Each structure stands twice: as structure tokens, then as C-alpha cells.
Amino acid sequence: MQNLLPRLAERSCIVRRATPHVLRHTAATRMLKAIGDVRRVQEFLGHADVSTTQIYTEVLAQDVAEAVDAVPDVEADARPETCESDEMAAQVLAALPPELREALERHLQREK
């Protein structure tokens, strides 16, 4: 399998590195994005300790942090004290899996 995957990737014009580990990592990351349940992903991967699986939540947190960083800053005096977007942001945060929400909050604290 280790030797077969790179050859298949080359024949398919896939330029990224293709190894069983990369495929497993990609599957786990996509599964976590899709279902948002780190415990189910842990079970799927066969990790004995959930902290091993939580590595994937850091990858997702980086995606979220990059998306947040891409949004231009709004001057504080350019908007009212509270607005609909504040409420919407709170709802989005509340809907995130706890691990992802905590990672995003840590990132935002570092930005201050």
C-alpha cells in the first residue's frame, strides 16, 4: 500500500504526497468537519485517548482562525453597541463543537 499509493497518485496527476497516513488524516479531518463529533471520529480511528483525536480539532480551528483573519476589521465607532451580526456570531459560536469553540476563543484572545 505504501508503494502503491504514490504510483496511483502520479498516474492520476495528483501532485500532493499520497500515503496511507495522509489518506487517514484527510478522512478524519473531513469526517470531523462533517459530523463535528470528536468522540465518534476517535472511535472510527481507533484512538485509545481522545487527546490524540483532538489534533484534528486544531486543524479545524486553524481553518476557522484563518477565515476570521480574512474578514476586515470594522471600526468600533462605525457600528452600534449591539447589532444583529453580534447575535448571529453568538449563535454560530454556540453551534460549534466545544473543542473548536475553545480553540477559536483562544485564537481570538491572542489577537487582542
Position 15 scores a pLDDT of 62
Measured CA angle at 37 (ends 33, 39), to 5 deg:
130
Judged against a pLDDT cut of 70, whether residue 81 lies above it is answered with: no
Domain boundaries, the chain: 4-111
Task: Provide the whole-model pTM.
Answer: 0.48
Position 56 scores a pLDDT of 80
Position 30 scores a pLDDT of 87
| Residue range 43-79, pLDDT digits in tens | 999 999 999 988 888 777 777 777 777 776 655 455 5
Position 11 scores a pLDDT of 73
